[in-house]
Amino acid sequence: MRPAIRPALPTDLPAVAALDAVCFPADAWSATAWADEFGRDDRVVLVADEGAVVGYVVLLVPSFAADPIDLLRIAVSPAGRRTGIARQLMSAALAVCAGREVLLEVAASNEAAGALYAGFGFEQISRRRGYYAGGEDAVVMRRQEKDDD
């Protein structure tokens, strides 16, 4: 069954926070941080809903349209991985981003996410040395929609 991709509802908050703790054991956002994300006007949170929340993506969408959108987070439950759910979430997120530049940061060792992003046309534009808490580098990637996208 392919999950439905839809905007997150306030009632999704506990499920998203719980999934985040599983997907980012060293770097999970707190319940308070998630409540802030859900409440902000400049955030778009989409969830993959299979009866339960099995994935999510968070965008920072500045109101000034010339400013780039930041893809802050995307994750899929371990049991649901490699079935195309992240691809579904990315497609829906990029529809929100139509016509705008999108930036993201990804840990240099995160091959799964790097391959996902590259598959959607993101290209590496820089590297931030020692960006993450453990000292790992971040790769900064950018996607600029082309006229024929």
Ligand X SMILES: CC(C)(COP(=O)(O)OP(=O)(O)OC[C@H]1O[C@@H](n2cnc3c(N)ncnc32)[C@H](O)[C@@H]1OP(=O)(O)O)[C@@H](O)C(=O)NCCC(=O)NCCS
Helices and strands (H and E) in the chain: how many: 4, 7
Is residue 109 close enough to count as binding ligand X by CB under 6 A? no
CB of 104 to ligand X, least distance (A): 7
Is residue 141 close enough to count as binding ligand X by CB under 6 A? no
Is residue 73 close enough to count as binding ligand X by CB under 6 A? yes
Could you say which of 87, 109, 127, 149 contacts ligand X (CB under 6 A)? 87
Look up residue 30 and give its two tokens.
């707190």
Could you say which of 53, 113, 138, 141 contacts ligand X (CB under 6 A)? 113
Is residue 23 close enough to count as binding ligand X by CB under 6 A? yes
Contacts with 73 (C-beta within 8 Å, 6 or more apart), sequence order? 20, 29, 56, 57, 58
CB of 3 to ligand X, least distance (A): 10
Q: How far apart, in whole angstroms, are the C-alpha atoms of residue 76 and residue 49?
A: 11
Could you say which of 36, 111, 123, 149 contacts ligand X (CB under 6 A)? 111
Q: How far apart, in whole angstroms, are the C-alpha atoms of residue 53 and residue 16?
A: 7
Is residue 110 close enough to count as binding ligand X by CB under 6 A? yes
How many residues sit close enough to ligand X to count as binding (CB under 6 A)?
20
Q: At what angle do helices 31-39 and 13-23 cross, to 10 degrees?
A: 130
Of the pair 3, 13, the CB lying nearest ligand X is at: 3
- Can you give the length of the chain in residues? 149
